Structure 1
Amino acid sequence: MEKALKIETRPLGLLFVSYLFPAMIGTLLMSVNILIDGIFVSQGVGPTALAGVNIAVPIFSVLLSISLWIGMGGATLYSVSLGRNDVEKARKVFTLSFVLMFLIVMIITTVLLIQMENIAYLFGANDQTYPYAKEYLYIILVFGMIYTIENLLSIFIRNDGNPKLAMAGLVVTSILNIIFNYFFIFVWEYGVTGVALATVLSTVIGVIVLSSHFFRKGSYLKFVGKFVDKKDIVKIVGIGFPSFVVESTVAIMVVLYNVTFLYYLGTEGVTAYAMVNYLHVVLMMIFFGIGMALQPLSSYHYGARLMDRVDGLLKIAIKTGIGIGLVIAIFAFLFPGPIMSVFGGDINKGRGLAVSGFGYFALGYIFFGINMVLMEFFQSIERIRMATIITLLRSVILFIPLLIILPKLFGPTLIWWVFPITEGTTVLLVGTYLLKNNKRIKDV
């Protein structure tokens, strides 16, 4: 296998970078679609509409969590199979993953459509913001399958040795989303409905671009007829579970932040968090990109039993995560005003709150990168227990109590500090556990 020879013998730094930049750009642009929606809504419809659309953003997290759950679980098995030179098994895993995700998404979007109003108010809507949330939610739910298919395909295409095409599909989606948003908002005046339609149409074209991989010479990625295997279903669901928890708890965290800001600071607080959260979704995807670059490489080398190279890849990924986190934190502290100005030039209370809080919030990225790399790494070598522990620590076990306690004891400003304190404490606890037990990280 010529492709295998290149992966197994290429210098680790160059190999990682060849996957890193396409993965980061691809995931970044995927999240930029949501940011673009926020900017166009803010500029073309207004701050209340922005808050309403932000209520619906957790739905993207729900859909993304399903595609990551099945996609990362299936892709890990896919790459491990290729590392063991079992192409037939890899193709069965891909087909099974696609069908499994399709069925799950169909069920969930149907339930959410039926309960749309209750879901919106549960996510933090009020009488002012619900009409906007309803417009956006309806279209996103009806066409939610397209969004998950694009993400699943990009994950498997990256694992099939074509990270550049995985990136290209998302680049096309992002560029077209900007163009469609402009026409739907400013030319045709479709409002929030237009923003949702722009997202759907651009994603459809992105899926078409990604589908060209099936006709590429040397591609192992194909659908097969006989693919159902109960053991593989259990493995896909189990391996992908940490990714599902990460992304699904993003939705929970957004909801809890919305409710907390609404309680302490009213609609202006929700608007401020909406601005920060749109940026957070984008920045978070940079770190997901690091993990997505690491996953196919560590899974393949793990399958081929090249463990020294597995260790080397992990070290490179951790250093990358820390470096990027530091850069983001510094820029957030030095230039919060210019960064938040993308949501509108007029000074308002909501933007003022966002400017004052973003620097504190951004400290969390220094630690967030480490947590995401470790979670993705343990998942990629089938160490699900450790990956799940990291995920639950940072998103549930520490986050929820801190969000309740800190603002109650020290005031609303401490809401912004919940993210960095949670991520930093998770790094401390996981690092202490590994050092105390003298564990090589791949042997956990």
Structure 2
Amino acid sequence: MEKTEIITGRLPKIFVHYVSLNVLSMIGMSCYILADTVFVAGGVGNSGLAALNLVLPAYSFINGAGLMLGMGGATRYAVLRGEGRDAAADRVFTQALALGAAIGCVLTLTGFFFTPALARLLGAEGAILQLSVRYLRTILLFSCAFMINNILVCFIRNDGSPQLSMAAMLTGSFSNIVLDYVFIFPMGMGMFGAALATGLAPVLSMLVLSLHFIRRQNHFRPVACRPKIRTVQEILATGLPSFVTEFSSGIIILLFNFTILRLSGTVGVAAYGVISNIALIAVAVFTGIAQGIQPIISVNYGAEKTERVWWAYGAAILLGVISGLLFLVFGLLAAEDIVGIFNREGDMEMTRIASAGIHLYFMAFLFMGANIVTTSFFASINRPGPSFAVSILRGLAAVVVFLLVLPPALGMDGVWLTIPAAELTTLFISGILLYRARLENKKIH
């Protein structure tokens, strides 16, 4: 879809086109971890499930760093193209790609030399330590692939090819599921097999993305240019909310793991692993909506089409709230059935803890969609300050506060209520920030 169509075409059709493709892409991407969880639970058992949940923060960091550069760079790219500054847009792509390669190399070296220490830092010990190291080292060795793939997906989506971005992400995700099964069961590769399947997914995704260049459909390309601190700062500032949203989920998993270990032990951590992985699907839908509106808002913002910007934002909020309500109803009606998919050992204590957790934790979805969409909205109109404030509040600050207050008072119920309380608080604050933004200038600029 060309830039001119985004600016002048029928907005409902464009909205459905971009959002639907991105929601499907993100759901497919969330299958990375969900497939690992199901197959690890069946092939390795609850110890493998606990180990997987302990190392998820590292994966969140890698994915978050890639999204930061991809979303930050691609948002700047879309705004510059909307303004007609194509040469500057190419320089943004070049520097985002160089940053991604550099960060990927550092993470790869970390995988070679520091994996055991990192696994211990994440809370792994005993038999779980060995399983965690095996998974974590493999994931870190594929860091460059994760980084570059995320960057290309975001840029190609903003270059008028959301279908190809979706196809690439789904190819990676579904190949991950197939390889998970093959590596864990017929080949008996255990945790290493699960990690290898996940690591190969972005490689296969990039093969699909290469069609954008082979067919010469790309409007961006690497160019010879000197690194500019200002460009790097713009990329990082615009993309930082995406990093905070992704990485903070890993930090929160880490904090939850430590809290639950004290309250319910390894069984509680395994139960939380079930809930956090199911929550990935909901977050994927909300993130897909948020990423889907980003090109629409950024290009129209650059072209000063204010009414179209606000229409896209409002439609995304409505869709996010409806989706959250559906997820909550599903959780209330099918909690034990959901847990049964992962609890292959038939542990009744795990079923009890996880089912109770789903009933309380899933209330967060009523507010989460609106918060994630608002974070993307502020970033898409070049307002990194409010975007960062919303993302850091819902992703870390409010969660830490409620995690310190609620579990001591309510036990495990307090753990499960932490996220709903944090999301509700964030919704209130984001509403204030949005109201102030409209008061400051109704034309956004």
**TM norm structure 2:** 0.95
1:22, 1:164 within 8 Å by CA — same for their partners in 2?
yes
Partner of 1:423: 423
Letter of the structure 2 residue corresponding to residue 68 of structure 1: L
Q: Show the counterpart of 2:38.
A: 39
The alignment status of 1:110 with 2:134, answered yes or no, reads no
Distance 1:325 1:153, change over 3 A: same
Structure 2 counterpart of 1:82, one-letter code: R
Say whether the 8 Å CA contact 1:394–1:423 is kept in structure 2: yes
Show structure 2 runs of 5+ residues with no match. Answer: none
Instruction: Please list the CA deviations of residues 4-63 of structure 1 after superposition, one character each: whole Å capped at 9, or x if unmatched.
Output: 221112121111110011111111111111110111000111111111111111111000
Aligned sequence identity (%):
33
User: How big is the shift at 1:396?
Assistant: 2.5
* Residue type of the alignment partner of 2:45: G
Quote how far apart the aligned CAs of 1:127 are.
1.4
Deviations, residues 366-389 of structure 1 (Å, cap 9, x unaligned): 111011001101001111110111
Matched, 1:350 2:333: no
Note the C-alpha offset of 1:345: 4.4
CA contact (8 A) 1:398 1:422 kept: yes
2:57 is matched with which residue?
A: 58
Match of 1:383 in 2: 383
Correspondences of 1:87-166 after superposition (within 5 Å):
87-111=86-110, 113-166=112-165
Q: What is the letter of the counterpart of residue 390 of structure 1?
A: V
Q: Which amino acid aligns with 1:240?
A: G
Query: In structure 2, what is the equivalent of residue 219 of structure 1?
Result: 218
Change (3 A) 1:264 1:113: farther
Amino acid at match of 2:175: L
Distance 1:314 1:436, change over 3 A: closer
User: What residue is the counterpart of 1:285 in the other structure?
Assistant: 284
* Cα distance in 2 for residues equivalent to 1:192 and 1:442: 53
Counterpart CA distance in 1 for 2:437 and 2:283 is: 30
Q: Give secondary structure in 2 for the equivalent of 1:390.
A: helix
CA distance in 1, matches of 2:399, 2:46: 28
The equivalent residue for 1:204 is 203
AA partner of residue 359 (structure 2): G
Is the CA contact 1:24–1:288 (under 8 Å) kept in the aligned structure 2?
A: yes
> What amino acid sits opposite 2:411 in the alignment?
G
Are residues 1:393 and 2:393 paired? yes
User: What secondary structure does 1:316 align onto?
Assistant: helix
**Alpha-carbon spacing, 1:283–1:184, altered in 2? closer, same or farther (3 Å):** same
Q: 1:366 to 1:441 in 2, by over 3 A?
A: farther
CA spacing shift, 1:322–1:125, aligned 2, 3 Å = same
Counterpart check, 1:240 vs 2:254: no
User: What's the TM-score once normalised by structure 1's chain length?
Assistant: 0.96
In 1, Cα distance between the equivalents of 2:138 and 2:409? 41
Give the distance between the partners of 1:297 and 1:435, measured in 2 at CA: 21
1:417, CA displacement in angstroms?
0.6
Quote the Cα distance in structure 1 between the aligned partners of 2:175 and 2:306: 42
SS of 2:98's partner is helix
Q: Deviations along 1:137-167, whole A, 9 cap, x unmatched? A: 1111111211222221111110001001000
- Asked if the contact 1:311/1:442 (under 8 Å) is kept, the reply is no
8 Å Cα contact 2:437-2:444 kept in structure 1:
no
Instruction: Report the CA distance between 1:223 and its aligned residue.
Output: 1.8
Q: Give the superposition deviation at 1:438.
A: 6.6
Backbone CA RMSD of aligned residues: 1.8
Structure 2 CA distance, aligned partners of 1:41 and 1:442? 51
Corresponding residue for residue 360 of structure 1? 360
